[in-house]
Amino acid sequence: VGTLQRRTGNCCDHAHLVVALARAAGLPARYMHGICTFSSGTYGHVWAQIHIGGTWYNADATSIRNGLGVINNWNTATGTILGTYASLPF
């Protein structure tokens, strides 16, 4: 709720918000954890995925440049997935 009210937060905060909203709407959602290359460098990152119509779609709310199934703020071709979680273990 704080992330929505403040309109700011880190990647975990944004993923928590997206997962909570999707689940509240009755859509399965999960967390993705990986190493991602941004224009500023390579970092650990967390984003959400939402299951719609039999497909998992990336839902990274950390940038307004992203949309459902579309990530533009980091290079998805070079990212490394470290884990997929129903809830974050960290």
Amino acid type, 27:
L
Tens-level pLDDT at each residue, the chain (90 residues): 789 999 899 999 999 999 999 999 999 999 999 999 999 999 999 999 999 999 999 999 999 999 999 999 999 999 999 999 999 988
Domain count along the chain: 1
Q: What is the pLDDT, as a whole number, of residue 19?
A: 98
Residue 90 belongs to a domain = no
Strand partners for 44: 35
Closest CA to 73 of 53, 88, 58, 90: 58
Strands laid side by side in the 55-59 sheet: 55-59, 41-52, 29-38, 80-85
CATH number of the domain bearing residue 52: 3.10.620.30
SS3 content of the chain, % helix, strand, coil (to 5): 20, 40, 40
Q: What is the pLDDT, as a whole number, of residue 73?
A: 97
Q: How far apart are CA 77 and CA 44, in angstroms?
A: 15
Q: What is the pLDDT, as a whole number, of residue 1?
A: 72
Residue-range definition of the domain harbouring residue 9: 2-85
